[in-house]
Structure 1
């Protein structure tokens, strides 16, 4: 069990956005229960409140969608696209409550089209996601995915970045360190380092970008956990806290 109460119905969390105004949010329902875990995020904003931070935009990408289901759970057959969307939506709600402007690349089970690209649906989908990123000019981009590996013993959350992006590496390292501490060490017994990857969404823009592989659908324990609401929300909460600290430059 994690270090917070999943069963309380209401939580009041204060977020200080500038020198004068302190907003108090009443958080209702399971989708935001773990905001109590994210107290580090509002504290991070308070720590630099004299700078009156502006609202920052974060792009949250739920990988795959529509006809592109991604990998499937080895035992349950659950599709990656479904889990990606659930966790991405939890993360977006938490970031929004923390004061971020959140832009989603998809909010439901869709595969995008892109003008001029008709011969490859996957390419069209990725081009559209890249277009969304470049149009909104975000502070950072986080893409949610699930992993799969030939060795069923491999488990845990991993984060990837483009080797061409130093800021992407910094973001990925911050996310990986948080996941190592709060998820991997407690659940899988293994810590990872952020790794380089050649992926379109990591290279299509100049903004710090990271792909988070939340766990291995080839591992029984990960597959079971990733379908549990409390685990999905836990991952989103860890990412929210790490994103807030990175975005506002707080260690």
Structure 2
């Protein structure tokens, strides 16, 4: 066979031989590099239950380790996950629990309880990948207490550990409240400590306690307690109860049939008619629902510089919530805390299910006339002016992105139907008017922009909110000067401060 040759110094080397020698060297280099990369791009799994070691491959190209949901499932169960390719969702079955994960979402659901990961899930290679550290942390606190992940060492350890704190039951009495912390074992008295701080929180710390946080989240809130949270530490567990009012004392003891830690919180005995107490509870300002308009596939209005309404109002909304959380005892509920699409009907549903006492929806405005500027606050009533009707029409256009049934429901919300919806909320109208006036009054000295006052129109997002509710238009993003201001952190902080103060 004739081989072409090339001259190399004084020697002639057959081209085919040189080519194949180079190719072999290159393939050997690739093989070694791939082996080294594969060994480093994985998480070691130490299964101390059946004494088996394993590895979880890590998704390439991400700043932090991402792991395949299906591969994680194989570590805990032989049952195959359920996959819905059309909706880009996957459901894992771990023990008696179902873990639902969606592509491009940072939220996951474990038996109706919602948890949030540090970053959103990623769809790649026909699989869904999740950020390892936060995903394993959620599994540990909710389903698998024997799961430990060392991010520095990239080591995942599995051990057979069961929860021993399995939920809280609250019982209201005429002169106080009884808390029953259900446990699977007895704890020594020295392992249990409790105290009340000056901010109205009661803390219970249990040495060697392991909390089933998914059950704690299902606690039926009542009596003196307005909120229950939990923290799992390496050697102890802590439950925190936010109290509605001061107590004159408390006692802690254990019962053995069934196992439970029982706490009595005593208040001065008062003979008050039950309906009076119910009315006080109903009107106590303990929960405010903040609604950042638009989000996800709905950008809202867009400024000339590309500024989107959804981003501006999300930042303002979070700042309002931060002011409330730092300076009051009010519980803050957000309809969205990240860039996701929330249907209009679901926003007021969140507010009602949270027993919200105020609902504030935050937006920015737009107008074909770019010289128009200023801030205004709206009430739910049929619009009186062309401007008000136009603003509501633009904000309501979001329903085009919703599913068919929701669109049909809101398409019928005009004329007489809108008046009926307004009448259904008439009991909150005076409070809504006062709230809108207070917000405008507080924003006025803070913003170098015209105060356009209180207005009314038929905003769909306010329909169905069983509480005083308003919609704030914080400025005109169509105005170049106001767009520039709204892009400023300092200005958005002023807007948030005004809404909070109102």
Residue in 1 aligned with 2:306? 77
Q: Does the CA contact (< 8 Å) of 1:55 and 1:101 recur in 2?
A: no
Residue in 1 aligned with 2:484? 224
What is the SS of the residue equivalent to 2:372? coil
Which of the residues 138, 146, 151 maps onto 2:356?
138
Which of the residues 320, 325, 337 maps onto 1:107?
337
Residue 64 (structure 2) pairs with residue 64 (structure 1)? no
Once the two structures are TM-superposed, the CA of residue 21 in structure 1 deviates from its matched residue by 4.3
What is the SS of the residue equivalent to 1:93? helix
Deviations 1:120-146 (A, max 9, x none): xxxxx0111121011012120111101
Residue in 1 aligned with 2:6? none
Which of the residues 365, 374, 385 maps onto 1:147?
365
TM normalised by structure 2 equals 0.34
CA–CA distance in 2 between the matches of 1:77 and 1:107?
Answer: 21
Once the two structures are TM-superposed, the CA of residue 172 in structure 1 deviates from its matched residue by 1.0
Deviations 1:97-121 (A, max 9, x none): 1221100000001013xxxxxxxxx
CA–CA distance in 2 between the matches of 1:224 and 1:82?
Answer: 14
CA–CA distance in 2 between the matches of 1:87 and 1:105?
Answer: 14
RMSD: 2.1
Residue in 1 aligned with 2:469? 209
CA–CA distance in 2 between the matches of 1:205 and 1:60?
Answer: 12
CA–CA distance in 2 between the matches of 1:231 and 1:96?
Answer: 20
Output aligned runs, 1:19-58, within 5 Å.
Answer: 21=198, 56-58=286-288
Once the two structures are TM-superposed, the CA of residue 167 in structure 1 deviates from its matched residue by 2.0
CA–CA distance in 2 between the matches of 1:59 and 1:202?
Answer: 12
CA–CA distance in 1 between the matches of 2:351 and 2:460?
Answer: 12
What is the SS of the residue equivalent to 1:224? helix
Once the two structures are TM-superposed, the CA of residue 182 in structure 1 deviates from its matched residue by 2.2
CA–CA distance in 2 between the matches of 1:134 and 1:22?
Answer: 27
Residue 359 (structure 2) pairs with residue 95 (structure 1)? no
Q: Mind listing any 5+ residue stretches in structure 2 that lack a counterpart?
A: 1-196, 201-282, 382-421, 423-428
Once the two structures are TM-superposed, the CA of residue 88 in structure 1 deviates from its matched residue by 0.6
Once the two structures are TM-superposed, the CA of residue 54 in structure 1 deviates from its matched residue by 6.2
